[in-house]
Amino acid sequence: MYPKKHKMSIDPKKPDDISLDSALRPNRWDEYIGQRSIKENLQILIEAARQRKEPIEHLLFYGPAGLGKTTLAHLVAKELGAQMKITSGPAIERVGDLASILTNLSDGDILFIDEVHRLNKLVEEILYPAMEARSLDIIIGKGPAARTIQLDLPAFTLVAATTRVAMLSSPLRSRFSGGTFRLEFYSETNIKEILRRSAKLLGIEVQEEALTEIAKRSRFTPRIANHLLKRCRDVATVRGDGVISLAIAKTALELLDIDDAGLESEDRRILKILIEKFSGGPVGLGTLAAAASEEASTIEEIHEPYLLRLGFIERTPRGRIATTRAYEHLDLTPPAENKNLFEQ
């Protein structure tokens, strides 16, 4: 169910990260910074559905974590005045779980499924007729006595989000008739706008140079930018006068071990393993993950998108390769063959 609005007082001295994250979430389109093309498309879809007095068609958002997929789902629901029920792929373990959710929806409701790529395949197949024909096929009994009954479902909209769109089956992807939208990394300018808004909501005084420094190391991601802002506020409270200056921002970011490019210690460790153990690659994802004692999915979903964005690694048919930029960032000298490869 879409959460009821209630007043939330934000006391910078007594923060609660969950309530703060909710408070920082945009409530209107004009508060949502960036992703202009997606916003325009969604506004047209919503207005067209409103004029026809129909539910909006099913939507799929994909892209790296922290770029605003859940926030967009909340905004769509708010603009339509609809209730939103939230779940995730791993939470829907059995067909009965999905049936229970779908049969409790009302006309016009929005069902938001995060991490939709982790849906059980049997559950996914039940979802097809629910999305297309708004019906639910349930098999009762086993063997020769088994029979199928069909339940009509209310006119609902499925909004799904994923960080790994390639793991979605083609039949599922094709049923998002409202559109499939990729969220891109934000520009430094957009991140600074987001930080200004967040600082105002939190009642924090931030110097312009500090905003630039935080934005530069935020991985072009709003969620991380807001996290860094809150940690800088903590340092300003404990070691300063409450104002986030450039010096305070640099101190906080150094304590978090985030370098000038926004890389964390784990990002640098993965790069060093790629360079030092595998001579810069190419190396397969599974081999790299084993050498780093890390899950392959963690490297692929958390670390790799940003390293690709910076041009520190490249994907090739033979595996991952560290680029000249990666060597330079780590103050290492690239092998002659690698240098020649990237200069071609």
Tokens of 246: 């450039």
Give the domain 35-182 fold.
Rossmann fold (3.40.50)
Rounded CA-CA distance 193/31 in Å is: 10
Q: Mind telling me the catalytic residues? A: 69-70, 114, 163, 223
What local confidence, expressed as pLDDT, does residue 16 receive? 47
What confidence category does residue 162 fall into, taking pLDDT thresholds of 50, 70 and 90? Answer: very high
Tokens of 107: 């006309």
Inform me whether the pLDDT recorded for 18 exceeds 60: no
39-55 confidence digits (pLDDT tens): 999 999 999 998 988 88
For 202, the enclosing helix (H) or strand (E) is helix 188-202
Inform me whether the pLDDT recorded for 287 exceeds 90: yes
315-329 confidence digits (pLDDT tens): 999 999 999 999 999
Nearest to 233 by CA among 242, 241, 245, 225: 242
Inform me whether the pLDDT recorded for 265 exceeds 70: yes
Question: For a pLDDT cut of 90, what percent of the chain falls above it?
Answer: 62
Inform me whether the pLDDT recorded for 9 exceeds 50: no
What local confidence, expressed as pLDDT, does residue 135 receive? 86
208-230 confidence digits (pLDDT tens): 999 999 999 999 999 999 999 99
| CB neighbour list of residue 219: distance below 8 Å, 6 or more residues apart | 185, 262, 306
Inform me whether the pLDDT recorded for 5 exceeds 50: no
What confidence category does residue 92 fall into, taking pLDDT thresholds of 50, 70 and 90? Answer: very high
| CATH no. of 265-343 | 1.10.10.10
Domain boundaries, the chain: 35-182, 265-343
Indicate the burial class of 300 (C-beta count within 10 angstroms; 0-12, 13-18, 19 or more).
middle
Residue 125: other Cβ atoms inside 10 A? 15
